[in-house]
């Protein structure tokens, strides 16, 4: 029997858990990951840690670009660059914004806020859970849901990663019961989430197909779900399917439009909807996210 080799081959291999993404324009990770479009990112000593699909990943600024570290080796990175939308010509997006005082103020406040391209199911489910909840609470509910129903993801023996869970699949949630979902503190939203999971799991709602549909059709399909109205549908269109003209009108964005564009006037909702639909150009959804971020963070 030969013994163990005296000299072990040196592992000279690239680090397939690390990727550096060079960028040509601003990318503010905190504003992007922590401002109410995705709900599973948290800041650790190593950087912004979260889960994309079945990948645990940690992101941090690296010069002008982003450094990504995954918990486990990966063979390709398209899932990450797609999620982060790092190939987008961001300066072109900024050029399409209306040149008015509110947009200038929002851009002066934050220049690197981006829109993510999220998984449609996770996005839909998360925003079903979002109604009349503060962002911190949405995060808590989503984390609880993942802990209870998501597939476990192991952590490597390196700093920055802890064991975590994937976002639960529609099939898994479809066979949950309402009481179990309510134990994740989602309250009256439980039957809505359950109905959505069952509709997707049964193939009645084909989320993959919606991305190839005209936006108005996709919106109408989503709004057939109980608990999904115009705002949640628009969030899914914008954050998951990348329909860039979708303009979610929530309490904050309405507040921003009223205060910044029509100060001191009583403007009804119908007029504001019309303004939102016509004023902001081909990347209106992007502009919306800037107004949302600005009005939430700047005290008047």
Total chain residues near DNA (CB under 7 A) = 43
Residues 6+ apart with CB under 8 A from 209: none
Candidates 49-57, 148-156, 196-204, 249-257: pick the segment binding DNA (CB under 7 A): 249-257
The two tokens of residue 33 are 């990951």
Q: Does 228 bind DNA (CB under 7 A)?
A: yes
Q: How far is the CB of 282 from DNA (least distance, A)?
A: 18
Spatial separation of the C-alpha atoms in residues 85 and 33, rounded to whole Å = 12
Phi, psi of 256 (to 5 degrees): -60, -45
**Which residue of 29, 205, 210, 232 would you call a contact of DNA, by CB under 7 A?**
232
Among 37, 70, 86, 244, binds DNA (CB under 7 A): 37
Closest CA to 191 of 172, 207, 176: 176
> According to CB under 7 A, which one of 32, 56, 244, 288 is a site residue for DNA?
288
Rule CB under 7 A: is residue 225 a binding residue for DNA? yes
Sequence-distant (≥ 6) Cβ neighbours of residue 239 within 8 angstroms: 37, 38, 115, 116, 117, 118, 123
Compose the 68-87 pattern: x for residues touching DNA by CB under 7 A, - for all others: --------------------
**Residue 233 touching DNA (CB under 7 A):** yes
How far is residue 153's CA from residue 1's CA, in Å, rounded to a whole number?
39
Provide the binding-site residues for DNA, judged by CB under 7 A. Answer: 35-37, 127, 130-138, 140, 182, 185-188, 223, 225-233, 235, 248-253, 268-270, 288-289, 292, 296
């Amino acid at each position: 029997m030969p013994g163990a080799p005296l000299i072990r081959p040196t592992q000279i291999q690239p680090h397939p858990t690390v990727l550096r993404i060079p960028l040509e324009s601003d990318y503010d990770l905190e504003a992007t990951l922590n401002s109410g479009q995705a709900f599973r990112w948290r800041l650790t000593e190593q950087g912004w840690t979260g889960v994309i699909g079945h990948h645990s990943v940690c992101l941090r600024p690296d010069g002008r670009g982003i450094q990504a570290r995954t918990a486990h080796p990966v063979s390709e990175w398209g899932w990450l660059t797609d999620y982060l939308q790092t190939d987008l010509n961001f300066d072109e997006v900024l050029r399409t914004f209306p040149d008015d005082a509110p947009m200038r103020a929002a851009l002066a406040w934050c220049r690197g806020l981006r829109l993510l391209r999220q998984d449609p199911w996770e996005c839909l489910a998360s925003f079903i859970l979002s109604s009349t909840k503060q962002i911190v609470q949405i995060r808590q509910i989503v984390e609880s849901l993942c802990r209870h129903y998501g597939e476990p993801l192991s952590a490597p023996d390196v700093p920055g990663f802890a064991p975590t869970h994937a976002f639960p699949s529609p099939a898994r949630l479809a066979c949950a019961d309402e009481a179990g979902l309510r134990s994740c503190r989602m309250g009256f939203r439980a039957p809505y989430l359950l109905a959505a999971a069952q509709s997707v799991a049964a193939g009645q709602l084909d989320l993959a197909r919606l991305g190839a549909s005209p936006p108005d059709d996709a919106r109408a399909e989503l709004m057939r779900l109980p608990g999904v109205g115009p705002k949640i549908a628009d969030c899914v269109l914008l954050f998951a399917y990348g329909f860039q003209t979708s303009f979610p009108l929530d309490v904050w964005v309405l507040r921003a439009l009223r205060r910044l564009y029509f100060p001191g006037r009583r403007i009804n909702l119908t007029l504001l909807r019309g303004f939102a639909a016509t004023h902001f150009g081909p990347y209106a959804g992007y502009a919306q996210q800037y107004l949302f971020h600005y009005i939430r963070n700047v005290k008047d």
